[in-house]
Amino acid sequence: MSTERLATPCRPFAAGVFRLSMGLMPVDERDWFELGPERAAAIESKRALLEARHGEVFCARAQADAPAAELLALMAEHLPHYHPDIFRRDGGRLSDAATGEVWELATTALHPLDLAGRLVAEDLCLLQAQDDRYVLIGASLCAPARWLLAEKMGRPLAAIHGPVPGYADQLGAVVDRFFAALKPGRLVGRFNWSIADDPVPFQPVARDRAVQITAATAGERLWLRVERQTLRRLPRSGVVVFTIGTHITRLDRVIGSAGDAQALAAAIRSMPPGMQAYKRIAPVAEPLLAWLAAIG
């Protein structure tokens, strides 16, 4: 949720080639959520959005009520078990030592998905099978990258990813098969990345570029935006939980060597023009590549 969140930024472009793929990896149960020292600031930022723009960042349809309660119960067990230095469970009370918050799980007026979203830095989405398609039925989404929650609610995966170049032809069927085959107890993750000219996490719509990017300023005026995403199926409801942890780091703090610069340049050059445009890399590609060439 916050900028500059990682001391050692993740570099998902390191292979030096862009491929449109799910790129799934197994995730250890204890790593379902990230609870580093930057989490408290991320929660504070999230809380401000939920208070000021609740209708834009939270939505849950009626069919999300039971799965959301199941998710909250799972998280209320998971967090104290794997992170006892931060979370403590005392009957129906869950306390957070990092933020000082105490949650009465059984009596809170919040929707269970809303409360679940306030416990972690990650955004949370619930997808339910309906007529052989997985449909978005609820989300706590405080760091969208150019998508409006209200426009995606109730829509299947294919429609949600409709703007992604190549998704329908290259990835749609693969994603649908994976969702159908995902078993409870299996936790997987992937990374998605892009180059941003604005470090604000909450960007539901594209913003006008405030400053001109040049080869001399690209490193300090562009940011690497990485989404760490996880997927798991809830055992009772069968709903799939999709989490999104957003990390935004200034580019000159990511590119620490000639090898980093060469890998990012190669990944950008291997990206189809349509994908460069979708990720908004195209308008800054020339000065960005020049900046990288000067390093690598």
Give the total number of structural domains in the chain. 1
Mean pLDDT, rounded, for 9-35: 92
In a domain, 108, yes or no: yes
pLDDT at 40: 82
In a domain, 287, yes or no: no
Identify the band that residue 5 occupies on the pLDDT scale cut at 50, 70 and 90.
very low
- Is residue 2 predicted with pLDDT exceeding 50? no
In a domain, 268, yes or no: no
Mean pLDDT, rounded, for 13-19: 92
Mean pLDDT, rounded, for 13-26: 92
6 or 176: whose pLDDT is higher? 176
- The span from the CA of 296 to the CA of 294, in Å, is 6
In a domain, 186, yes or no: yes
Outline where DSSP puts E strands in 61-196. 87-90, 93-96, 102-104, 123-130, 133-140, 188-196
In a domain, 50, yes or no: yes
In a domain, 52, yes or no: yes
- The span from the CA of 136 to the CA of 153, in Å, is 5
Note the pLDDT tens digit of each residue in 206-243: 776 657 899 999 999 999 999 999 999 999 999 999 99
Note the pLDDT tens digit of each residue in 257-275: 999 999 999 999 999 999 9
Identify the band that residue 1 occupies on the pLDDT scale cut at 50, 70 and 90.
very low
Mean pLDDT, rounded, for 137-165: 92
Q: What type of residue is 2?
A: S
Mean pLDDT, rounded, for 33-59: 92
In a domain, 2, yes or no: no
161 or 67: whose pLDDT is higher? 67
In a domain, 195, yes or no: yes
- The span from the CA of 136 to the CA of 241, in Å, is 10
pLDDT at 194: 93
In sequence order, what are the residues at sequence separation of 6 or more whose Cβ sits closer than 8 angstroms to the Cβ of residue 134? 127, 128, 156, 157, 176, 179, 240
Note the pLDDT tens digit of each residue in 71-130: 999 999 999 999 999 999 999 999 999 999 999 998 999 999 999 999 999 999 999 999
Summary mean pLDDT of the chain: 92
- Is residue 8 predicted with pLDDT exceeding 70? no
In sequence order, what are the residues at sequence separation of 6 or more whose Cβ sits closer than 8 angstroms to the Cβ of residue 128? 63, 64, 67, 134, 135, 137, 237, 238, 239, 240
CA distances to 84, 109, 266 from 5, in Å: 22, 31, 25
How many of the other CB atoms lie within 10 Å of CB of 204? Answer: 18
Range(s) of the domain holding residue 103: 25-210+223-248
- The span from the CA of 289 to the CA of 292, in Å, is 5
pLDDT at 4: 39
- The span from the CA of 256 to the CA of 248, in Å, is 16
pLDDT at 3: 38
- The span from the CA of 119 to the CA of 96, in Å, is 8
pLDDT at 229: 96
